Amino acid sequence: MASARVTPWRTVILWSLAALAGAAGLALAHGFDSPPVPDADAYARWLMIAGVGLFVLSRAVMLVPVTKLGPRLGRWWVDYLLIGAAAAWWVARPENEGFILRAGMAYILVVGAAAVFRAGLGAMADGLPGRTTGYAVRRLVVLAFGLTLLGGLVLTLPICRRAPQKVDAEHSLAWYQLKVDFLDNTFTAAAVLTGTGLTVLDIGYDYNRVGQLIILVLMEIGGLGVLALAAIIGMHVRRLLGWSGVDDDLSPAGLRRLVLFVCILALAVQALGAVGLYRMWDPAADLNFGTAMKEPVLLEPLVSRTPWAAHYDEARLFAAIFHSASAFLDCGLTLTRDGYLVYRNSPGPLLAIMPLMFLGSLGGPVLVELLRRMTRRNDVGLEAVSKDTWFTLGGSVAVLLLGAGALFAIESTRDWQQRFPREKTPGRLIVSGTSPATATATALGDTATQPARAPIEFSAATSQRAQSERLSGMTTRNRIRAALFQAEAARTGGARSARLDENSLSPASHLVLMALMLVGGGVGGAAGGLRIIVVLLLIGVVVRAIRADAPRPRGSDPARAVAIAAAVATAMILLIGATALALIYREAGSFLACLFEAVSAVCNAGLSLGITSELSLPGRIVVILAMLIGRLIPLTILMRGITPAPAVTAKPPLRVITRPSEKSTTVNPEDDAPIPLE
């Protein structure tokens, strides 16, 4: 909530109780296909009445004491106005009670979430320069895990699923089915909030538009929260390195303006991306989009009365907004069934999504500075771009080109790789179930001993469609485009434009993708991983910029920045090792698949070799924790690292004792202590 100076704690507690009661009432009224309990409508009505009543009471207690009434009315005057209007409407039109209660609870939940978001960022902006961040870190951890559980609980409601699995409550497997369903939806919520594209469910098919809308809201909460928090951290990291821009403002007011500008810029870029993606969805190629076009229109009661109702295409509009947000916030989740594989031959969606992923990975400080320099704010142009922006922008482009080039080269030269079978490669063509003599003859190309009519076995992995979805099976133009997209997605968003399983990519390509996921994006961006600047500091690319004899701007501490980078890298690598060990021990996937899954989860990339949906229940819990901790660890280390170290308390000054009959004598206070008796 807002600070206690404006909003008292008793108001915060009442507001929280109102939100809980109202959310339970809304879930009971709209979350189930059939009433879960007798008289469910009556219970829902009384819960929402209780929620609205608690909210009104929370506003009433702010009227005392009168001495603080001015600032509180100045901030919350809209609430008092709406309360009065709703009460008058309720008295004049009692038949509209249901709509008033539902609209009131929606307002309470939305405004409460916005207040929590604003208060948290305000605490970061005000508290980082001067206070310990331990309390802020604890609140961040509790908020992340709480939102994950709440999101999983909401997505478990039958109203969010297209075809929920109905199990009789009296059935022996009912409780087990509920646990599995809740865990799957919690997995989805964790992936959305952390910006990880891993999922055990098909977002575009298993969830209806209500569920997809909730996923979009969770995506915005997690993505904008990370962007805002990372923007504040990024500004302090620039200061520590001495790479600040000419007009960076690290005051609390300046950081608040930065966060507001970053959120507005993020929403504006997403809107532009949605406009570019609006016409690019093909129901003939994308089966999930064809199903979405047949769904009931959520906004039909509102749109039907407008003059453009005949041209309103909610399925296309929602798909454009969802994929634009997923790309810019580096989430990687898609409504399509196989990522962007169905659009591998259509350059439109891929070319529209790639810039969104790239911009989202740069972060607020870099984007704001580039915008200022291009508009020549303070009469300063691109010649004054800071080192942080140059290194982040240049490093991102270099990593993208190197990764795409490596993928293209590896998948274009399969004939040079001994691990892939060829006609004259002894020992590479042995098929299980054949005799040693036949296998040897086959390997040596001796067809005389082979059966005349060997049975033809069809496999999806060897089908013509599967081959066309592999990088090695694409045309040169499509391979270049897919390699660029896949390299950028591995570094940022986690979507896929080609098959990534072990039968489709060379292990060398998997190693390249893991390296890209580990590098990640900018410090202030929404991507995960170690971050570009951390990697550059660790590999010594900027050694000349941090040498001890170089002049340092005021407030900079490059050695401390390097120590923070080492701490982030150590924590991330240890977490990857622990996650990989747990998956290798428990799951049935290969060593490469489990390691790839661990890197993807911890670095919040979202790529997989196909074992995500096959994970056991303990394996899913491990990946959920890996996604959450992998997102929180770099942020918490950076938050603690950029806080100035506490000042060392100076020793007390020497006391001067003066006696009338003697000269002044200087005495050390430690020497003036009493002598212990022996």
Q: How far apart are CA 360 and CA 330, in angstroms?
A: 6
Give the mean pLDDT of 300-324.
Answer: 84
> Concatenated DSSP letters for 1-33?
---TTTS-HHHHHHHHHHHHHHHHHHHHHHS-S
Give the mean pLDDT of 594-613.
Answer: 93
The helix (run of H) or strand (run of E) holding residue 479 is helix 476-491
Q: What's the burial of 27, exposed, middle or buried (CB within 10 Å: 0-12/13-18/19+)?
A: middle
Per the DSSP assignment, residues forming a β-bridge with 161 are 207
Residue 552: pLDDT band (50, 70, 90) is: low
Crossing angle of helices 507-519 and 387-412, rounded to 10°: 170
Enumerate the domain spans of the chain. 1-115
pLDDT by residue (tens digit) across 158-201?
888 886 556 565 666 667 777 888 999 999 999 999 999 899 99
Amino acid, res. 523: V
E strands, 414-499, where? none
Residues 174, 168: contact at Cβ < 8 Å? yes
Q: What's the burial of 232, exposed, middle or buried (CB within 10 Å: 0-12/13-18/19+)?
A: buried
Crossing angle of helices 347-362 and 364-374, rounded to 10°: 100
Q: How far apart are CA 213 and CA 321, in angstroms?
A: 10
Report which of residues 65 and 411 the model is more confident about: 411
Residue 675: pLDDT band (50, 70, 90) is: very low
User: Which of these, 550, 453, 451, 461, lies nearest to 500 by C-alpha position?
Assistant: 461
Q: What's the burial of 184, exposed, middle or buried (CB within 10 Å: 0-12/13-18/19+)?
A: buried
Largest CA distance in the chain: 125
Dihedral of CA 529/532/533/538: which sign? positive
Q: Is residue 601 helix, strand or coil? A: helix
**How does 316-352 read in b/e, with b if 16+ C-beta sit within 10 Å?**
bebbbbbbbbbbbbbbbbbbbbbbbbbbbeeeebbeb
Q: To which residue do tokens 């041209």 refer? A: 311
Q: How far apart are CA 365 and CA 358, in angstroms?
A: 14
Per the DSSP assignment, residues forming a β-bridge with 524 are 363
> Concatenated DSSP letters for 315-359?
HHHHHHHHHHHHHHTT----SSTTTTGGGTT-HHHHHHHHHHHHH
Q: What is the pLDDT of residue 555?
A: 61
Report which of residues 613 and 118 the model is more confident about: 613
Q: What is the pLDDT of residue 648?
A: 46
- Find the range with the poorest average confidence among 21-30, 136-145, 258-267, 302-311: 302-311
Q: What is the pLDDT of residue 549?
A: 52
Cα 612 to the chain's mean position, in Å? 18
User: Which of these, 533, 266, 229, 492, lies nearest to 358 by C-alpha position?
Assistant: 492
Q: What's the burial of 99, exposed, middle or buried (CB within 10 Å: 0-12/13-18/19+)?
A: exposed
264: number of Cβ within 10 Å? 10
User: Which of these, 157, 31, 53, lies nearest to 100 by C-alpha position?
Assistant: 53
DSSP structure class, residue 223? H
Residue 434: pLDDT band (50, 70, 90) is: very low
Q: What is the pLDDT of residue 227?
A: 92
Q: To which residue do tokens 């893991």 refer? A: 514
Amino acid, res. 446: D
Q: To which residue do tokens 């080039």 refer? A: 405
Q: What's the burial of 468, exposed, middle or buried (CB within 10 Å: 0-12/13-18/19+)?
A: middle
pLDDT by residue (tens digit) across 509-545?
999 999 999 999 999 899 989 999 888 888 774 555 5
Residues 152, 186: contact at Cβ < 8 Å? yes
- Find the range with the poorest average confidence among 125-139, 289-303, 417-431, 580-594: 417-431
Residues 588, 572: contact at Cβ < 8 Å? no
pTM of the model: 0.83
Q: What is the pLDDT of residue 446?
A: 45
266: number of Cβ within 10 Å? 23
Tokens of 35: 């009433």
My answer on whether omega of the bond before 65 falls inside 30° of 0, hence cis, is yes
Q: How far apart are CA 210 and CA 204, in angstroms?
A: 11
Q: What is the pLDDT of residue 170?
A: 62
pLDDT by residue (tens digit) across 347-357?
788 888 999 99
- Find the range with the poorest average confidence among 227-241, 299-313, 547-561: 547-561
**How does 598-609 read in b/e, with b if 16+ C-beta sit within 10 Å?**
bbbbbbbbbbbb
Q: What is the pLDDT of residue 279?
A: 87
Q: What is the pLDDT of residue 366?
A: 92
Q: How far apart are CA 185 and CA 165, in angstroms?
A: 13
Q: What is the pLDDT of residue 538?
A: 83
Report which of residues 255 and 421 the model is more confident about: 255
Give the mean pLDDT of 328-338.
Answer: 90
Pairing of strands 665-667, 655-657: antiparallel
Residues ≥6 apart with Cβ < 8 Å to 555: 239, 240
DSSP structure class, residue 159? G
Residue 432: pLDDT band (50, 70, 90) is: very low
Rounded percentage of the chain residues whose pLDDT exceeds 70: 81
Q: What is the pLDDT of residue 110?
A: 83
Give the mean pLDDT of 24-29.
Answer: 84
Helices (H), 334-455: 347-362, 364-374, 387-412, 436-444
Tokens of 245: 């821009």
User: Which of these, 219, 161, 163, 165, lies nearest to 190 by C-alpha position?
Assistant: 219
Q: How far apart are CA 384 and CA 386, in angstroms?
A: 6
User: Which of these, 524, 217, 230, 246, lies nearest to 367 by C-alpha position?
Assistant: 524
Report which of residues 604 and 33 the model is more confident about: 604
Q: To which residue do tokens 């923070």 refer? A: 564
User: Which of these, 613, 577, 614, lies nearest to 598 by C-alpha position?
Assistant: 577
Q: What is the pLDDT of residue 462?
A: 61
pLDDT by residue (tens digit) across 363-392?
889 999 998 888 877 777 777 888 899 999
Residues 262, 364: contact at Cβ < 8 Å? yes
639: number of Cβ within 10 Å? 22
User: Which of these, 140, 116, 156, 117, lies nearest to 194 by C-alpha position?
Assistant: 140
